[in-house]
């Protein structure tokens, strides 16, 4: 089987949590062409308006996130546990945690700014 030596098993609870602010933490798993992250947001946490080339799926496992979409924040929606939001490439978005929330973010390609820690917009807390 081609590539079988690259197969790896991860356990979320064994990965270190990266603390970005007093209300925001994450765990990241990355492959060559995709990335998945557990994102832990405390109630009131704001992910400031930003955009990126990466296509994104946000799957809320627990809690709820209020998303504001567009440069003018003209469209909004609440994404709750069990729901998935698809954000195409370069769509400006902001999120506010309405309650303590755990979401799974999937990116393609991987977020290089998350990997090299140049994601200053998230670290302003």
Residue 88 lies in domain:
24-122
Specify if 16 maps to a domain. Answer: no
Q: What is the pLDDT of residue 51?
A: 96
Q: What is the pLDDT of residue 124?
A: 78
How many domains are there within the chain?
A: 1
E strands, 1-125, where? 18-21, 24-30, 35-41, 46-50, 55-62, 64-69, 75-80, 84-87, 93-97, 101-108
Specify if 11 maps to a domain. Answer: no
Specify if 72 maps to a domain. Answer: yes
Q: What is the pLDDT of residue 5?
A: 77
Mean local confidence (pLDDT), 94-118: 97
Mean local confidence (pLDDT), 15-39: 97
Q: Is the pLDDT of residue 4 over 80?
A: no
pTM above 0.75, yes or no: yes
Q: What is the pLDDT of residue 111?
A: 96
Across the strands, what pairs with 115? none
């Amino acid at each position: 089987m081609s590539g079988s030596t690259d197969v790896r098993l991860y356990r979320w609870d064994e990965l270190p949590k990266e603390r970005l602010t007093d209300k925001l933490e994450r765990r990241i798993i990355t492959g060559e062409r995709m990335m998945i992250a557990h994102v832990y947001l405390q109630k009131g946490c704001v992910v400031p308006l930003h955009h990126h080339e990466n296509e994104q799926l946000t799957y809320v496992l627990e809690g709820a996130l209020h998303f504001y979409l567009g440069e003018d924040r003209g469209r909004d929606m609440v994404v709750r546990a069990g729901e998935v939001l698809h954000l195409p490439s370069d769509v400006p978005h902001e999120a506010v945690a309405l309650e303590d929330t755990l979401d799974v973010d999937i990116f393609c390609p991987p977020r290089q700014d998350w990997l090299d820690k140049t994601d200053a917009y998230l670290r302003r807390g």
